[in-house]
Structure 1
Amino acid sequence: MRIIDLSSHIDASAYEADPVTHEVLTAAQGAEHMAEQLKARLGIEFDVSVLRDSEFLTLDRISLTSHTGTHVDAPSHYGSKTTYGNGIPRHIDEMPLEWFHNPGVKLDVRGHGTGVIGVEVLEKEFARIGYTPKPMDIVILDTGAAEHAGTQTYFTDYTGLDGPATNFLLDLGVKVIATDAFSLDAPFPDIVKRYLATKDESVLWPAHFAGRDREYCQIERLANLEALPDFGFTVVAFPVKIKGAGAGWTRAVALLDDWCSSES
């Protein structure tokens, strides 16, 4: 079995719409920090010079949103109310883990430019690969956006799904839709420009807002999709268990059996 990493980096040096800060305490600084905490909290004096090289442990302090890097959007990210269930969307820590360990299907939707694609594009891709997603399959959109990760272009130039295309996948029983782009919807500037030109409210974040009527999750900001075959692999993307959060980071991977590896 091969394990293919589908996750993008969390990198404080890269361009982010919401900047990341990453402070590293060295092993020497970690020793001083530990000694200070022992004294302040427990009244214990500790001489760090007894440690090898006067070093203890490193420590990373990171400030970022739950939508930085590869992450899973929970239903509560889409809004505060639903038309299904009890009307209250579930947070990321409440989602069933079974959703995030399932067969994957990759759809090549590169070359469609900035904006949205519809049902006809998905149907054409199903015909090309000779496979239609089954219930609980994880559908991955390869938009080509990952090649711009770390730049401003990554947030402004990519392809998203329109409302009918999103619902088309959900009608097939799909519970998780994934993309290598910043969002499953089109870029913010594209959405707003189209709305201002048409006053058509259906263009306003249709993929996300579909989640107010139908429970599903998105995985955004995948990477390395070129290493995947069209289907015949398993996606594992368990989200971090953040209490009451609308999203959680994931180290998404694909598992390929030997027979699949040889065919790819």
Structure 2
Amino acid sequence: MPIIDLSTAVDAAAWEPEPVIHDVMTPAQGAVHMAEEMALHFGVDFDPSVLPDGELLSVDTLKLTTHTGTHIDAPSHYGSKASYGVPRHIDEMPLDWFHRPAVCLDLRSATGPTVDADFLDKELARIGYQPQPLDIVLLHTGASAWAGTPRYFTEFTGLDGSATNFLLDRGIRVIGTDAFSLDAPFGAMLKRYNETGDRGVLWPAHFTGRDREFCQIERLANLDALPQPYGFTVSCLPIKIKGAGAGWTRAVAIL
């Protein structure tokens, strides 16, 4: 079956506000390391020189946040408290949320830093689709074209509070975007807050998660490769990190 990769790579060479550190232990170094570990922990003596080319296994060690690359935010990411109870961590979320029919909405015509419920309603009418409960909704902003550069973190389109609630009202529990965040860029939000003093403009999509349980996929890619806006399944099972507010995923569309 055709499978389309919707994920952004974890790349230590790409620009990130919090850089990725990727250390590689070569197969030769891995052989020495394994011999030392076997002696230390299990009392087993082993000479790595007997191995082909003196090599065993490579080992990669990474230092990065769970919000690097394509990842899923859990309810506990939005705060330590929620009106509905204790927010769940990523390892506690039901897996059937993350392998579901999906629809992709095109936000590239948006003129502001966010779109509202009316924009989403018109886009659904344009493509002739109404979301079903537990569908996964993907937002195609075009921002993934700037992945790996500073621009990726400052120029994209997010959802306002009305748009987020519009989707949740229809039973959606997973919303994905090809942008850095489901909210507007930091600069746009803070500018509006400084002008209005309205705290409601600060991270409304994220903070909706304090009242309504849902997850968001951030930093998707390749949404323009989808041949149609619906009629496919998205699989985006999160990595099971105990007690974490987010987990990486290899998100794909299955046609």
TM range (shorter): over 0.9
Hey, what's the Cα distance between the residues in 2 that align with 1:81 and 1:113?
Answer: 34
CA contact (8 A) 1:114 1:190 kept: no
Q: What is the TM-score when the length of structure 1 is the normalising length? A: 0.94
Q: Distance in 2 between matches of 1:88 and 1:24?
A: 39
Check if 1:237 corresponds to 2:236.
yes
Which amino acid letter does the alignment assign opposite residue 6 of structure 1? L
- The residue number in structure 2 matching 1:172 is 170
Cα distance in 2 for partners of 1:113, 1:158 equals 10
Q: Give the whole-Å Cα distance in 2 for the aligned partners of 1:173 and 1:152.
A: 35
Q: Secondary structure at the match of 1:194?
A: helix
Percent of pairs with identical residues? 65
Equivalent position SS for 2:145? helix
Q: What is the CA deviation profile of residues 206-232 of structure 1, one whole-angstrom value per residue up to 9, with x for unaligned ones? A: 000000000000011111101111100
Q: Give the superposition deviation at 1:138.
A: 0.5
Q: Distance in 2 between matches of 1:88 and 1:44?
A: 47
Q: How far apart, CA to CA, are the structure 2 residues paired with 1:237 and 1:143?
A: 19
Q: Deviations over 1:217-251 (max 9, x none)?
A: 00111111011111000111100111100001111
Matches within 5 A, 1:61-100: 61-84=61-84, 87-100=85-98
TM-score normalised according to structure 2 size: 0.97
Cα displacement (A) at 1:41: 2.5
Match for residue 110 of structure 1?
Answer: 108
TM-superposition CA deviations, 1:157-181 (whole Å, max 9, x none)? 1000000110011001111111000
Determine whether 1:251 maps to 2:250.
Answer: yes
1:30 partner SS:
helix
TM-superposed deviation, 1:42: 3.1
Match of 1:121 in 2: 119
Q: Distance in 2 between matches of 1:70 and 1:29?
A: 30
Query: How far is 1:190 from its partner?
Result: 1.4
1:79, distance to aligned residue in structure 2 (A): 0.5
**Partner residue, 1:14:** 14
Alpha-carbon distance, 1:48 to partner = 1.2
Residue equivalent to 1:134:
132
Aligned pairs (5 A) from 1:175-186: 175-186=173-184
Partner of 2:203: 205
Residues in 1 aligned to 2:95 and 2:111: alpha-carbon distance in whole angstroms: 34
Decide whether the 8 Å contact of 1:113 with 1:157 is kept in 2.
Answer: no
Unaligned runs of 5+ residues in structure 2 are: none
SS in 1 for 2:164: helix
Q: Take 1:55 and 1:7, find their aligned partners in 2: how far apart are those partners?
A: 32
Q: Which residue pairs with 1:192 in the alignment?
A: 190
Distance 1:64 1:103 in 2: 31
Question: In structure 1, what is the Cα distance between the partners aligned to 2:112 and 2:162?
Answer: 18
- Write the letter of the residue equivalent to 2:44: I
Using the alignment, how far apart are the partners of 1:114 and 1:125 within structure 2?
Answer: 16
Question: Aligned-pair distance for 1:39?
Answer: 2.5
1:137 counterpart letter in structure 2? D
For 1:44 and 1:177, locate their aligned partners in 2 and report how far apart those are by CA, in whole Å. 50
Partners of 2:123 and 2:34 in 1: CA distance: 56
- For residues 38-71 of structure 1, the C-alpha deviation after alignment (integer angstroms, 9 at most, x for no partner) is 2222343322110000001000000111111111
1:124 shift after superposition: 1.4
Q: CA RMSD in A?
A: 1.0
Residue 28 (structure 1) shift: 0.5
Say whether residues 1:57 and 2:57 are aligned partners: yes
Residues 1:52 and 1:121: Cα distance change in structure 2 (over 3 Å): same
Is the 1:146–1:223 Cα contact (8 Å) retained in structure 2?
yes
